Structure 1
């Protein structure tokens, strides 16, 4: 039987690796350094999770945006390993997909070196044939460039691929690339938020992917 889905593309933060606390604390640290007169609560940070850092910080101060990005990345890298957590079932699912010869890739708005750091820290690095980071594309998600690049490198077509993510830009990038999409219910803003962007599937656990690809 010919598989309909042969290729799975994943976002990293909030999808495969629980970096929510790391991201929130890094934003709070960075914004606190530049706007000490303001207080940034967790809910204030949520809209910043997903879009590229330069887009987010440009919204605060275009002239200092890159400086703020550099500040963010330095703190994030320093505290990375102590603040990231694993999601239940992710490692086992990715390993199973790999062992069943599915093509696996990361398409993230994170820098390539930090993607590798996260994958290595959680032991997932050995399972992905392709990693696409922010510094490898001209236009980040929701632009389809990263997805299209991954598909080309994997010798896959859009109709045999699915993009898995925790944020609107993952789902919209999938739509723009004409691939299936799956939103994860453990997204920090919840499944109902993702349903508003019409993903093909909502995953209650990462293991749901196995049922989807095996039955597709």
Structure 2
């Protein structure tokens, strides 16, 4: 798998260990608005989607006004009130550095908003590794292929020259819809059985294994 020119990462659950904080922040936001509190498993299943799409699934009877309030409450919970740690996964920085030294193009395709991605990039000092990124409100939500199509066009890379790395069925389906190879990771949201349904080139249990594959 050394031939890929472009390596595209999902963020939450793939590069950053933030799944638990997403779950608790969404549950707290729902509680603040007196909505039915979703289970942890229900929230995990929408991770990777843009927030409006996620809200439609979790709260199907949500009005537009309450949906906007939910968005704001979730952001407050995640950024300011929730103290659940969100470290980078082991070997993340080393992997990004090694890929850069091999002259690989790197990108992020995430359901996070732009302000959220910029904030975690600043917090982790990782923005300089990436040549392109697309966020939840900038494109149609995963699993639509628009995020990947725009990244490929911006960097002038053909689909067969790229690989998508992700931890959810939404990442895998998006890559499949874009005719981009994909590698699943099992340490985020979805398990090996779920990821395997989307015919990834490989499934790994750590970023150390991913480094061995790509380099």
**Kept after mapping to 2: 8 A contact 1:112/1:131:** no
SS in 2 for 1:72: helix
Aligned counterparts, 1:79-118, within 5 A: 79=81, 83-118=85-120
Shift of 1:87: 0.8
Match in the other structure for 1:8: 7
Q: Distance in 1 between matches of 2:83 and 2:103?
A: 30
Shift of 1:99: 1.4
TM-score by length of 2: 0.89
Q: Distance in 1 between matches of 2:30 and 2:82?
A: 18
Q: Distance in 1 between matches of 2:164 and 2:82?
A: 25
Q: Distance in 2 between matches of 1:44 and 1:4?
A: 37
Match in the other structure for 2:209: 208
Change (3 A) 1:158 1:23: same
- Structure 1: segments with no counterpart, 5+ residues: none
Q: Distance in 2 between matches of 1:83 and 1:156?
A: 35
**Kept after mapping to 1: 8 A contact 2:164/2:183:** yes
Determine whether 1:62 maps to 2:62. Answer: yes
TM-score by length of 1: 0.88
Match in the other structure for 1:184: 185
**Kept after mapping to 2: 8 A contact 1:24/1:45:** yes
Q: Summarize deviations over 1:101-134 as a string: whole Å, max 9, x none.
A: 1000001111112112112212221211112112
Question: Please, which moves more after superposition, 63-72 or 167-176?
Answer: 63-72
Match in the other structure for 2:74: 72
Change (3 A) 1:15 1:80: farther
Match in the other structure for 1:18: 17
Determine whether 1:151 maps to 2:152. Answer: yes
- Structure 2: segments with no counterpart, 5+ residues: none
Q: Summarize deviations over 1:18-38 as a string: whole Å, max 9, x none.
A: 1112101111101112236x5
Question: Superposition RMSD on alpha carbons, in Å?
Answer: 2.0
Q: Summarize deviations over 1:138-175 as a string: whole Å, max 9, x none.
A: x1211111101111111211010000011111101100
Q: Distance in 1 between matches of 2:214 and 2:44?
A: 31
Aligned length: 210
Change (3 A) 1:213 1:83: closer
Change (3 A) 1:160 1:53: same
